Structure 1
């Protein structure tokens, strides 16, 4: 038993090992045990359930990154087209766009832990199937499309379940930190996964990357089966109108609505970078699969730094910080498109990773903390739907634009559109909240601030 500072432990009867009933006298020595707290960056690890879950995140994320690199490069080898790479991304994310809302209804209706065990088991079978086809030398591009589509159907349930599961493992005060650690683990896996996958693809081919991901998904299912959530939310019984109820909740909750709208914009214009990195490595820098792996790894390093920084913050994100971060990302993309040389591009790629992950952690934690537990699955399904579904819409378009005019022109397009639309959304948010910019005169210099209009 841990005794808080300034209190004492009751005397123990040493002959029986039980707590004695006689009161402590003034002459008895007082032993004080200091409670050692984890740093704010890792505070969520104080939860036993979350500590058990985080290795599953690492194993599963590493496998996902390995499969992503191998899958994109396999399609590029089979077709030689950036548009085809964008299409396989679309096949994987399109089910979330079409069916994501129904996935959220299932997450609210059934225990999340059981759903995650089921989805990871199916994902393992699909990865092993694609690995077998590749190792047998009979894989065709339609095989990759079909398996990517099936994995997309798995993500319809797995995505919102994984997001909502965090709130069952830690108290609300640690949700932001848990989201940050999840993202950090994912990005750290993004450093390891692409590097390992690049070596495997270059040395022994794509098949072994898929096989390892299949084993990783199997391990995740086994670990999640042993996790016991500490803060389970009530399971919502089946009832008509559950889908509409979730949508009405989003529309009536201002912070959730605007945050999801910003995530939708990011899904459309900010998160198609992998499509462009493949063509930048191939056609601009002429570095092949190893160069593509390096660019992906560098971007993941930036996201790792951004995840640690954003997760360590104790204050809840606000809409204005999300808006500013997304606008900054648009400026970074436009700048990356015009800088000469691979090293300058790589340096900005690190910054884009920091900005991307800071935005995602802020948006995710703001939405979860602003949502009632009984509708969290449906709300997070909309979050996943606009995040991944946006990529399924824009991925082929950005890839086609890159085929026509080159990846640099596509980066300029993404950056400019991202910046302009973010500015429009910021103006609409300010108008709804009766806010405006004001130039205030200070002693030494004028200061620009946001004030409420009476």
Structure 2
């Protein structure tokens, strides 16, 4: 038992990675808090599902654009400085929102700008964090390190949204105070990045700022096209990636509409929104732990299919949830199924990818997270027209149909 525990947390034995991992924990906590706070604030300002979708759309559009350039930035520039600068932007953004709320000048457009800024930074620093992880722990422990990073993200989703909801609903703090707490947590993340070493840049990386800009604009687009051709010519990559884009685009958008369900349908408050977000995250943590030892097993593909169908079915069940308590239980299942599906998709795809294309394929694997945020806008319009329950039902049906097509294509080998 002891040896298994040491193996599970082996990468944390590297001091520099331990700092990076802890910084990631606090960064993810701050980001997850702001996700929920923006949704709460958008609902309080507008009481509109469409507004919730627009705020999420701004994040997804910015993330989709910046992800294309994040990999090149990580290769060409200092990863440490890239993460420090990005974390500082996130910190200042949280302070700015807190000040706007405290001084009662908050406006809906500020939520859109804040969401887009966070998406832009998240897309730029994400590849740098993964790339630095490789250099700090070595390839022999890379899988362990990435698993631990994924677990920290899921763990932060247990604490941060619930804490944000509680703080927002507590008169002593309110939404402004919750944003200031988010900024304090982001400051801890920044402080932990400062002692990190400067890692190496790829041979041929530019020294001048002008050269860096030219490369950042020119190379990613050509390299992305090459990566797309590589994926589309390989069914073992094309099927899971295309399916994950559709499944996550429709299914994962449920997180944007939790306030509409809890406050608009069940007539509850900010604290209950935090609790239901925490239930989803608990399910995600459980799934991460259970699936960690099964991701490389021969039956991983079958587990992936089962999780995809469970994801769709649980979203449809959420549409029919008669009360808040049942909705919490269903949301925990959604959290487990969605994170399990995402994790296994990434493991299966990266295992089948040639080393020369790992980075570009990884960027395609990350694109669904931009897609789900972008899809939130039209889904918000649908919710305005038909109601949030009908929207959830439509999302669940879309996920289930995507998994049917994936299963049939996999069986046919096409």
Structure (1/2) with the larger helix percentage: 2
Which has the larger Rg? 1
The 3 A distance-change label for structure 1 pair 431 and 225 is: farther
Which of 394, 402, 412 is the matching residue for 1:421? 402
The normalised TM-score by structure 2 is 0.86
Q: Aligned partners of 1:336 and 1:198: how far apart in 2?
A: 20
Question: In the alignment, what sits opposite 2:208?
Answer: none
- Aligned-pair distance for 1:296? 0.6
CA contact (8 A) 1:302 1:352 kept: yes
Question: In the alignment, what sits opposite 1:282?
Answer: 263
Structure 1 gaps, min length 5: 1-34, 434-454
Which of 310, 321, 328 is the matching residue for 1:328? 310
Q: Deviations over 1:285-343 (max 9, x none)?
A: 21121111111111111111112222244625844432332122111211232243322
Q: Aligned partners of 1:253 and 1:264: how far apart in 2?
A: 16
The 3 A distance-change label for structure 1 pair 236 and 389 is: farther
- Aligned pairs for 1:157-196 (under 5 A) are 157-172=124-139, 174-196=141-163
2:211 is equivalent to residue 245 of structure 1: no
Question: In the alignment, what sits opposite 2:340?
Answer: 358
Question: In the alignment, what sits opposite 1:133?
Answer: 100
Question: In the alignment, what sits opposite 2:250?
Answer: 269
The normalised TM-score by structure 1 is 0.79
Q: Aligned partners of 1:374 and 1:211: how far apart in 2?
A: 43
The 3 A distance-change label for structure 1 pair 173 and 428 is: farther
Q: Aligned partners of 1:269 and 1:349: how far apart in 2?
A: 15
Could you say what secondary structure the match of 2:68 adopts?
A: helix
Segment drifting more, 134-143 vs 154-163? 154-163
- Aligned pairs for 1:285-296 (under 5 A) are 285-296=266-277
- Aligned-pair distance for 1:130? 1.6
Q: Deviations over 1:176-225 (max 9, x none)?
A: 44333222222222222122212221222212222232333333233234
CA contact (8 A) 2:43 2:260 kept: no
Question: In the alignment, what sits opposite 1:20?
Answer: none
Q: Aligned partners of 1:110 and 1:350: how far apart in 2?
A: 40
- Aligned-pair distance for 1:416? 1.0
2:411 is equivalent to residue 411 of structure 1: no
- Matched residue pairs, number? 397
Question: In the alignment, what sits opposite 2:381?
Answer: 400
- Aligned pairs for 1:180-219 (under 5 A) are 180-202=147-169, 203=171, 204-219=173-188
2:45 is equivalent to residue 93 of structure 1: no
- Aligned-pair distance for 1:426? 2.5
CA contact (8 A) 1:311 1:361 kept: no
Which of 77, 80, 83 is the matching residue for 1:116? 83
Q: Relative CO higher for 1 or 2, CA cutoff 8 Å, sep ≥ 6?
A: 2
CA contact (8 A) 2:78 2:198 kept: no
The 3 A distance-change label for structure 1 pair 223 and 364 is: farther
The 3 A distance-change label for structure 1 pair 253 and 226 is: farther
CA contact (8 A) 1:100 1:382 kept: no
- Aligned-pair distance for 1:94? 0.7
Segment drifting more, 270-279 vs 315-324? 315-324
Question: In the alignment, what sits opposite 1:25?
Answer: none
Q: Aligned partners of 2:291 and 2:185: how far apart in 1?
A: 28
Q: Aligned partners of 1:358 and 1:319: how far apart in 2?
A: 12
Q: Aligned partners of 2:132 and 2:293: how far apart in 1?
A: 20
